Amino acid sequence: MAIVYRRWWRALRGPRTTSFPWRPSPELFPPGSRPAEVLQAPPPGLLTRSLAIRQIDVGSCGGPEAELSLLTSPTYDISRFGYSFTPSPRHADLLLVTGSLQEAMIPVLRQTYEAMPEPRRVVAMGCCAAADCPLRPAAAATADLRKVVPVHVWVPGCPPAPAAIIAGLFAAVGREAPGLKEWVKGR
Protein backbone atom coordinates (compact mmCIF):
# COMPACT_ATOMS: atom_id res chain seq x y z
CA MET A 1 0.00 0.00 0.00
CA ALA A 2 2.83 2.35 0.89
CA ILE A 3 4.30 1.79 -2.56
CA VAL A 4 1.02 2.82 -4.22
CA TYR A 5 0.88 6.01 -2.14
CA ARG A 6 4.49 6.75 -2.92
CA ARG A 7 3.78 6.45 -6.65
CA TRP A 8 0.75 8.74 -6.35
CA TRP A 9 2.78 11.22 -4.39
CA ARG A 10 5.48 11.19 -7.06
CA ALA A 11 2.95 11.67 -9.83
CA LEU A 12 1.26 14.61 -8.05
CA ARG A 13 4.48 16.29 -7.10
CA GLY A 14 6.01 15.91 -10.55
CA PRO A 15 9.71 15.61 -11.19
CA ARG A 16 11.80 17.47 -8.65
CA THR A 17 14.58 18.17 -11.07
CA THR A 18 13.81 21.19 -13.20
CA SER A 19 17.29 22.27 -14.15
CA PHE A 20 16.66 22.36 -17.92
CA PRO A 21 17.53 25.69 -19.46
CA TRP A 22 14.32 27.19 -20.78
CA ARG A 23 16.31 28.39 -23.73
CA PRO A 24 19.65 27.15 -25.02
CA SER A 25 22.75 28.60 -23.47
CA PRO A 26 24.11 31.93 -24.70
CA GLU A 27 27.71 30.86 -23.99
CA LEU A 28 27.89 28.84 -27.14
CA PHE A 29 31.55 29.12 -28.07
CA PRO A 30 34.18 28.42 -25.42
CA PRO A 31 37.18 30.75 -25.48
CA GLY A 32 39.96 29.57 -27.75
CA SER A 33 37.73 27.77 -30.25
CA ARG A 34 38.11 28.56 -33.94
CA PRO A 35 35.31 29.08 -36.43
CA ALA A 36 34.60 26.52 -39.13
CA GLU A 37 36.37 26.90 -42.47
CA VAL A 38 34.56 26.46 -45.77
CA LEU A 39 37.00 24.53 -47.94
CA GLN A 40 34.80 24.32 -51.02
CA ALA A 41 31.30 25.54 -51.80
CA PRO A 42 28.72 22.98 -50.69
CA PRO A 43 26.41 21.74 -53.46
CA PRO A 44 23.14 23.64 -53.74
CA GLY A 45 20.02 21.73 -52.80
CA LEU A 46 16.48 22.08 -51.60
CA LEU A 47 17.19 20.79 -48.12
CA THR A 48 18.96 23.48 -46.15
CA ARG A 49 16.75 23.83 -43.11
CA SER A 50 16.33 20.19 -42.18
CA LEU A 51 19.25 17.82 -42.39
CA ALA A 52 19.71 14.17 -41.54
CA ILE A 53 23.30 13.68 -40.39
CA ARG A 54 25.31 10.46 -40.62
CA GLN A 55 28.45 10.46 -38.48
CA ILE A 56 31.41 8.29 -39.44
CA ASP A 57 34.46 7.75 -37.27
CA VAL A 58 37.56 7.28 -39.43
CA GLY A 59 40.14 7.36 -36.62
CA SER A 60 39.17 9.63 -33.75
CA CYS A 61 40.11 9.50 -30.08
CA GLY A 62 36.43 9.43 -29.10
CA GLY A 63 36.42 13.15 -28.24
CA PRO A 64 34.40 14.29 -31.27
CA GLU A 65 31.81 11.58 -30.53
CA ALA A 66 31.59 12.75 -26.92
CA GLU A 67 30.89 16.31 -28.06
CA LEU A 68 28.44 15.13 -30.74
CA SER A 69 26.43 13.29 -28.11
CA LEU A 70 25.89 16.69 -26.45
CA LEU A 71 24.30 18.17 -29.59
CA THR A 72 20.99 16.54 -28.71
CA SER A 73 21.20 17.66 -25.05
CA PRO A 74 19.00 20.52 -23.75
CA THR A 75 21.95 22.93 -23.86
CA TYR A 76 22.52 22.70 -27.60
CA ASP A 77 19.51 20.78 -28.95
CA ILE A 78 20.07 20.67 -32.73
CA SER A 79 16.52 19.45 -33.29
CA ARG A 80 15.33 23.06 -32.91
CA PHE A 81 17.23 23.77 -36.16
CA GLY A 82 15.64 20.76 -37.83
CA TYR A 83 18.79 18.63 -37.63
CA SER A 84 18.87 15.00 -36.56
CA PHE A 85 21.24 12.03 -36.59
CA THR A 86 20.34 9.06 -38.76
CA PRO A 87 21.64 5.49 -38.46
CA SER A 88 21.61 4.96 -42.24
CA PRO A 89 23.65 6.80 -44.86
CA ARG A 90 20.76 6.15 -47.28
CA HIS A 91 18.76 8.75 -45.36
CA ALA A 92 21.63 11.15 -44.79
CA ASP A 93 21.98 14.61 -46.30
CA LEU A 94 25.28 15.31 -44.59
CA LEU A 95 28.29 13.15 -43.72
CA LEU A 96 30.11 14.16 -40.55
CA VAL A 97 33.64 12.70 -40.58
CA THR A 98 35.48 12.55 -37.25
CA GLY A 99 39.18 11.98 -36.65
CA SER A 100 42.25 11.35 -38.77
CA LEU A 101 41.67 9.01 -41.69
CA GLN A 102 43.14 5.52 -41.31
CA GLU A 103 43.87 3.13 -44.19
CA ALA A 104 41.32 0.54 -43.06
CA MET A 105 38.52 3.10 -43.04
CA ILE A 106 39.10 4.40 -46.61
CA PRO A 107 36.86 1.80 -48.34
CA VAL A 108 34.25 2.11 -45.57
CA LEU A 109 34.20 5.90 -45.92
CA ARG A 110 33.93 5.67 -49.71
CA GLN A 111 31.08 3.16 -49.46
CA THR A 112 29.22 5.27 -46.91
CA TYR A 113 29.60 8.36 -49.09
CA GLU A 114 28.41 6.50 -52.19
CA ALA A 115 25.33 5.23 -50.33
CA MET A 116 24.13 8.78 -49.65
CA PRO A 117 21.61 10.48 -51.93
CA GLU A 118 22.51 13.69 -53.81
CA PRO A 119 23.27 16.43 -52.89
CA ARG A 120 25.88 15.20 -50.46
CA ARG A 121 27.64 17.50 -48.05
CA VAL A 122 30.70 16.50 -46.08
CA VAL A 123 31.89 18.13 -42.86
CA ALA A 124 35.25 17.07 -41.37
CA MET A 125 35.70 17.44 -37.63
CA GLY A 126 38.78 17.82 -35.49
CA CYS A 127 42.26 19.27 -35.86
CA CYS A 128 43.64 15.79 -36.57
CA ALA A 129 41.64 15.70 -39.83
CA ALA A 130 44.09 18.27 -41.21
CA ALA A 131 47.20 16.89 -42.88
CA ASP A 132 49.50 19.37 -41.10
CA CYS A 133 48.32 18.68 -37.55
CA PRO A 134 51.40 18.21 -35.33
CA LEU A 135 49.55 15.70 -33.17
CA ARG A 136 48.41 13.60 -36.10
CA PRO A 137 49.18 9.97 -35.25
CA ALA A 138 51.92 8.29 -37.24
CA ALA A 139 49.80 5.70 -39.02
CA ALA A 140 47.57 8.36 -40.56
CA ALA A 141 50.36 10.21 -42.29
CA THR A 142 49.72 8.73 -45.71
CA ALA A 143 45.95 8.99 -45.90
CA ASP A 144 44.39 12.28 -46.98
CA LEU A 145 40.70 12.69 -46.33
CA ARG A 146 40.20 15.20 -49.15
CA LYS A 147 41.49 12.72 -51.73
CA VAL A 148 38.79 10.21 -50.76
CA VAL A 149 35.70 12.41 -50.43
CA PRO A 150 35.15 16.10 -51.21
CA VAL A 151 35.22 17.97 -47.89
CA HIS A 152 33.08 21.11 -47.90
CA VAL A 153 33.57 22.35 -44.35
CA TRP A 154 36.27 21.73 -41.75
CA VAL A 155 35.57 22.31 -38.06
CA PRO A 156 38.88 22.71 -36.21
CA GLY A 157 39.28 21.93 -32.52
CA CYS A 158 40.57 19.06 -30.40
CA PRO A 159 37.75 18.20 -30.06
CA PRO A 160 35.61 21.02 -31.49
CA ALA A 161 33.06 22.35 -28.99
CA PRO A 162 29.38 21.57 -29.67
CA ALA A 163 28.66 25.17 -30.66
CA ALA A 164 31.52 25.14 -33.16
CA ILE A 165 30.09 21.93 -34.64
CA ILE A 166 26.67 23.56 -35.00
CA ALA A 167 28.31 26.53 -36.76
CA GLY A 168 30.04 24.05 -39.09
CA LEU A 169 26.75 22.32 -39.89
CA PHE A 170 25.20 25.68 -40.72
CA ALA A 171 28.17 26.57 -42.94
CA ALA A 172 27.67 23.33 -44.87
CA VAL A 173 24.30 24.59 -46.13
CA GLY A 174 25.34 28.22 -46.55
CA ARG A 175 23.62 29.45 -43.40
CA GLU A 176 24.98 31.32 -40.44
CA ALA A 177 24.79 29.92 -36.92
CA PRO A 178 22.99 31.96 -34.24
CA GLY A 179 25.43 34.05 -32.24
CA LEU A 180 28.34 33.40 -34.60
CA LYS A 181 28.65 37.02 -35.76
CA GLU A 182 28.78 38.38 -32.20
CA TRP A 183 31.32 35.78 -31.23
CA VAL A 184 33.62 36.50 -34.20
CA LYS A 185 33.34 40.25 -33.46
CA GLY A 186 34.20 39.73 -29.81
CA ARG A 187 37.41 37.81 -30.44
Partner 1 sequence: MAITRSAPADVLVPAPVAAADFGDAVAAALGQGDRLLTLCRLPGGEVGAVCDAPEGVRGWRAAGDGPLGRPSASGVVAALHDEARLEAEGVEWSTPAPQVRVHGAGVFTFPLGPVRADVAECAAWRLFVMGDEVLGLHMGFGYKTRGMERAMAEAGPEAGVLLAERVTATSVVAHAVAYAQAWEAALGIPPSPGAVAWRGVLAELERLHSHLGDLATLAASTGLPVAQAELILLREQMLRLNQDVTGHRYLRGVVGVGGLRRRPERGALAPARLTDMLATFAAVIDELDGSTSFLDRLHGAGRIPAAWAAAVQPVGPVGRAAGVPYDVRTDRPYGPYLRGAPAPALETDADAWARYRVRVREVEASVAWLLERLRSPRALDEGPVVPSQSLPAHPVSGAGATAMALGRAEGPRGEVCYLVSPAGAWVRVRPASAVNWAVLPPAVAENNVMQDVPIIDASFGLSVAAMDR
Q: Which residues bind partner 1 (CB under 8 A)?
A: 6, 10, 15-17, 19-21, 27, 30-32, 54-63, 65-70, 73-75, 85-87, 89, 99-100, 102, 104-105, 108, 112, 128, 135, 137-140, 158-159, 161
174 versus 178: smaller Cβ distance to partner 1: 178
Cα angle at 148 between 154 and 97, to 5 degrees? 40
CA distance linking residue 62 with residue 159, whole number of Å: 9
DSSP E strands, the chain: 37-38, 51-57, 83-85, 94-98, 121-125, 153-155
- Provide, rounded to whole angstroms, the least separation between the CB of residue 41 and partner 1: 26
67 versus 180: smaller Cβ distance to partner 1: 67
CA distance linking residue 164 with residue 148, whole number of Å: 24
40 versus 82: smaller Cβ distance to partner 1: 82
- Provide, rounded to whole angstroms, the least separation between the CB of residue 105 and partner 1: 5
95 versus 177: smaller Cβ distance to partner 1: 95
- Provide, rounded to whole angstroms, the least separation between the CB of residue 166 and partner 1: 14
- Provide, rounded to whole angstroms, the least separation between the CB of residue 34 and partner 1: 14
Cα angle at 140 between 136 and 146, to 5 degrees? 95
**What SS3 class is residue 153?**
strand
Query: With contact defined as beta carbons under 8 Å apart, do 102 and 139 qualify?
Result: yes
Give the count of beta carbons closer than 10 Å to the beta carbon of residue 50. 13
- Provide, rounded to whole angstroms, the least separation between the CB of residue 107 and partner 1: 10
CA distance linking residue 40 with residue 28, whole number of Å: 25
40 versus 73: smaller Cβ distance to partner 1: 73
